[in-house]
Chain A
Amino acid sequence: MEGADSKPVKVRGRQCCICDKRRAALKRPKTLEQICRECFYEVFEEEIHQVIVQNQLFKPGERIAIGASGGKDSTVLAYVLSELNRRHNYGLDLFLLSVDEGITGYRDDSLETVKRNEIQYRLPLKIVSYKDLYGWTMDEIVKMIGLKNNCTFCGVFRRQALDRGAALLKVDKLATGHNADDIAETVLLNILRGDIARLSRCTSIVTGEDGPIPRCKPFKYTYEKEIVMYAYFKRLDYFSTECIYSPNAYRGFAREFIKDLERMRPRAILDIIQSGEDFRISTSTKMPEQGTCERCGYISSQKWCKACVLLEGLNRGLPKLGIGRSRGLNNDHTKGAKESNGTKSFESKQCGTLDF
């Protein structure tokens, strides 16, 4: 996740265009309005509150796990949900849920951040690790297969680990920190990769409602730049180093494009999400059917879920099992496209339903 790449510019002599009293402290990325700090807090939190209420994301008495990686999105999400829960009496029991991938020098540091958040926000923290669930750390996996394709394992394992951790906590829902930029990027990537099945649901604010634990995205309409600003002004403690094993090439193309778009027309991000919601998928298009994995019971459209296939490959010393170009020259095959897309391909799946 990105850190604060640019400090907000304080414009002297200009009044906040909302309250018209205090001095403007920033130009709001979403609307380009000059507003003061207090009004920024208010509109930022109020918009998220409206998203939660209008989409009925939570019900009183529910137990909610917040996917916490230590990065800016999950840190701000934990802080804002705590605030709104207290202010508007949602009546929720909130938990922090982290995944330890076992990446030395990266994940252990970010988890230290989450542990501090646990104390600061007074939210119970649960950590699940790849080592406990699968017997392998990412360090060991990378040693086995090298840097190429390691994101395939990490993405598949992480999403299942989150679900297993949520089940252990016995929560009703899992909230993730995917923001508007992430979702817009996912819409574009699914068009670029020809993934029509995922295109039809990557804009849903709640996914996996037919599964054991639904996931929701309260930051669906919140801009990444505003999350950074909010964390900066509130002096929130978050971790901002990128994953050391993650190749950036493909993600960079789409990400760079989104940033250029935002610079040119800030509302383009919301427009992309709107388009994603408006797409009408033909019912004759084949959608993968959901079932359960024979081996671990996880949701899967195949006999074995992806995690079990990859795990079997690792345990048998055949790590390429479940990866690769089994169809040779067919570069357009969805599976092949996934492998070559690096990180974002599997980060995109976090916006989708629980199927592989």
Chain B
Amino acid sequence: MACNASSCQSNCHRSDEQVQEEEVDSSTNSITGNDNKNQNVCAKCKFNESISGCGGEDGRFCADCFRGNLYGKFRLAVTSNAMICPTDNVLVAFSGGPSSRVALQFVHEMQDKSQKNFEANRDRSLPVFGVGVAFIDESAFFPAPCLEIDKVIQDIRLIVSGLGPPRKELHVVPIENIYSSNSINGRDRLKILLDAVSDATGKEDLLLHLRMLSLQKIASEKGFNRLVLGSCTSRIACHVISATVKGQGYSMPADIQHVDARWEIPVVLPLRDCLAQELYRLCHLDGLKTVELHKGPHSGINGLVSSFVTLLQEENPSRECTIVRTAGKLTPFHFNRIPEKNDSNITLATQRRQKRYNLKPNESISSVTFCPICNSPLNQSDLLRWSKLGNFQTSSDSFDAACCSSCRFQILPKDSSLMEHFSKGLPLPMVARAKQSSYSNLCLLR
């Protein structure tokens, strides 16, 4: 209901009467849900039989209306946040799970519709955006039998090739590719880096950061200008609690918006308003094949948070939405929007199609310093640490000072010899980021 309500409000600004009517109908049906005497009929179209199985909100719609509702949320997120333009080249991060599988499917459907419009249109004014797919092989982190990895990659190739035209390039890349050198040396350096981190949660978070570096590298090298993640409401709710628990309350709003442009390639989350349960159900209904990799038990704080949120969601089906909506009211950062591109090449037709009404006014952009490991914006208390360090005795000290307090606690090694191993194992972008922080902060001190 909460999701429908927000959608309805947004749609009120649009001139599309049909969509508006549909949303109004949906809201109305939600309000009068308890009065619906036809228990087996779809609450929306009143024609088809509703999805059987467990009750709750999902079960009120038929399969077509259910998937239409989800696709509507996806499309609304894309258009109202200017996530994908006709001239864009989009890379979809695909892990094999239900969320990224739906993201891949919806991006494909949107591209397919654009292609048909392009071919049907006489003047050919709107080009069709390009789509690529990326899968990160993380077997260096979670050793698994080679046969299993090959099977997974083969399945993913089949999924991508089965999507139909336009053709989508699949990039299967091992995570150790974040190092410029060859694969063997990269894997060794990754092992050194990993062994230096003793905290289980720190290891998990470090993997997340390295994965993003890997995706950014693929996108940058292959000419993509957008990175699509399949993060859904449930995943973001867990991240909200996790970040709060780790003391990252200042930077957490940066991670949960629809758009995150602090990276070279802006990251977009078009499924941000969809629940994991809904996406799982859609995969089941549409026969979307997913692949599962066993990554071992989650023994750290992230696993504990995940169990906690799952428990709460079972008790109250609106809980995850409430968590994300609460965090959504925190102030976002200036990079949580697609950067304005003053490009005269964009045709008038394209500008007319873009509806940027949801973008918040541009606040005063202050210079933001980022943690070299997690790329989170640092707040005042983190920056104050610089002034206390009069002179940097070693490069390790300056790197330590450049990190946020959460990474310093759970990722950076305490032991000095382990710290040396860690420094050697660091990928180049993190080292460069630390030097950038060092330079800009020294300027601030003067």
Interface residues of A (CB under 8 A from B): 187-188, 190-196, 199, 253, 257, 260-261, 264-265, 267-268, 270-272, 274-282, 285, 328-332
A-B interface, 6 closest residue pairs, ranked by CB to CB distance from nearest: A275-B249, A271-B247, A278-B250, A278-B249, A280-B331, A194-B322
B312 CB within 8 Å of chain A: yes
In this complex, what residue of B is CB-closest to A330? B1
Query: CA separation between A331 and B33, bound complex, in Å?
Result: 13
Q: How large is the interface on B (under 10, 10 to 19, 20 to 34, 35 or more residues)?
A: 35 or more
The reply to whether A264 and B247 contact each other, CB–CB distance below 8 Å, is no
Interface residues of B (CB under 8 A from A): 1-2, 30-31, 33-34, 201, 240-241, 243-250, 252-253, 300-301, 304, 308, 311-312, 315-316, 318-319, 321-323, 325-327, 329-331, 379, 405-406, 409
The reply to whether B308 and A194 contact each other, CB–CB distance below 8 Å, is no
CB of B242 to closest CB in A, whole Å: 10
The reply to whether B329 and A196 contact each other, CB–CB distance below 8 Å, is yes
Pick 19 A–B contacts, CB within 8 A, sort by A.
A190-B326, A192-B323, A193-B322, A194-B323, A260-B304, A261-B245, A265-B201, A265-B301, A271-B245, A271-B246, A272-B244, A272-B245, A272-B247, A275-B243, A275-B250, A278-B249, A278-B379, A281-B331, A332-B321
The reply to whether A191 and B249 contact each other, CB–CB distance below 8 Å, is no
In this complex, what residue of B is CB-closest to A260? B304
CB of B43 to closest CB in A, whole Å: 13
The reply to whether A332 and B1 contact each other, CB–CB distance below 8 Å, is yes
Interface of chain A, main secondary structure: helix
Residues of A within 8 A of B312 (CB): 192, 253
The reply to whether B326 and A331 contact each other, CB–CB distance below 8 Å, is no
CB of A341 to closest CB in B, whole Å: 10
The reply to whether A267 and B241 contact each other, CB–CB distance below 8 Å, is no
The reply to whether B322 and A268 contact each other, CB–CB distance below 8 Å, is no
Contact of B318 among A264, A272, A332 (CB under 8 A): A332
The reply to whether B327 and A191 contact each other, CB–CB distance below 8 Å, is yes
Residues of B within 8 A of A330 (CB): 1
The reply to whether B249 and A274 contact each other, CB–CB distance below 8 Å, is yes
Contact of A191 among B241, B331, B379 (CB under 8 A): B241
Contact of A261 among B304, B322, B327 (CB under 8 A): B304
Query: CA separation between A267 and B31, bound complex, in Å?
Result: 44
In this complex, what residue of B is CB-closest to A203? B249
Task: Name, among A199, A270, A279, the residue most crowded by chain B CB atoms within 10 Å (CB to CB).
Answer: A279
In this complex, what residue of A is CB-closest to B33? A329
CB of A198 to closest CB in B, whole Å: 10
Query: CA separation between A275 and B240, bound complex, in Å?
Result: 11
The reply to whether A191 and B252 contact each other, CB–CB distance below 8 Å, is no
Query: CA separation between A260 and B30, bound complex, in Å?
Result: 37
In this complex, what residue of A is CB-closest to B243? A275
Residues of A within 8 A of B315 (CB): 253
In this complex, what residue of B is CB-closest to A193? B322
CB of B439 to closest CB in A, whole Å: 25
Residues of B within 8 A of A277 (CB): 249
Residues of B within 8 A of A271 (CB): 244-247, 406
In this complex, what residue of A is CB-closest to B315? A253
Query: CA separation between A267 and B410, bound complex, in Å?
Result: 11
Residues of B within 8 A of A272 (CB): 244-245, 247
Query: CA separation between A275 and B245, bound complex, in Å?
Result: 7
Residues of B within 8 A of A276 (CB): 244, 249
Contact of B31 among A199, A268, A329 (CB under 8 A): A329
Contact A261-B330, Cβ < 8 Å, known A192-B322, A271-B245, A332-B318? no
The reply to whether B326 and A268 contact each other, CB–CB distance below 8 Å, is no
Query: CA separation between A267 and B252, bound complex, in Å?
Result: 18
Residues of B within 8 A of A193 (CB): 322, 326
Contact of B326 among A196, A274, A278 (CB under 8 A): A196
Query: CA separation between A193 and B2, bound complex, in Å?
Result: 13
The reply to whether B249 and A279 contact each other, CB–CB distance below 8 Å, is yes
Contact A188-B241, Cβ < 8 Å, known A253-B311, A261-B304, A281-B330? yes
In this complex, what residue of A is CB-closest to B320? A192
Knowing that A274-B247, A275-B250 touch, tell me 15 more A-B residue pairs with CB under 8 angstroms.
Answer: A188-B241, A191-B240, A191-B241, A192-B323, A253-B315, A261-B304, A264-B304, A268-B301, A272-B245, A274-B405, A275-B245, A275-B248, A276-B244, A277-B249, A332-B2
Residues of A within 8 A of B247 (CB): 270-272, 274-275, 278
Query: CA separation between A330 and B4, bound complex, in Å?
Result: 12
Residues of A within 8 A of B241 (CB): 188, 191
Query: CA separation between A282 and B325, bound complex, in Å?
Result: 13
CB of A312 to closest CB in B, whole Å: 30
CB of B334 to closest CB in A, whole Å: 13
Residues of B within 8 A of A270 (CB): 247
In this complex, what residue of A is CB-closest to B240? A191
CB of A263 to closest CB in B, whole Å: 10
CB of A311 to closest CB in B, whole Å: 30
The reply to whether B304 and A257 contact each other, CB–CB distance below 8 Å, is yes
The reply to whether B1 and A268 contact each other, CB–CB distance below 8 Å, is no
In this complex, what residue of A is CB-closest to B250? A278
Query: CA separation between A260 and B300, bound complex, in Å?
Result: 11
The reply to whether B330 and A275 contact each other, CB–CB distance below 8 Å, is no
In this complex, what residue of A is CB-closest to B316? A331
CB of B366 to closest CB in A, whole Å: 13
In this complex, what residue of A is CB-closest to B379? A278
Contact A275-B252, Cβ < 8 Å, known A193-B322, A253-B312, A331-B318? yes
The reply to whether A280 and B330 contact each other, CB–CB distance below 8 Å, is yes
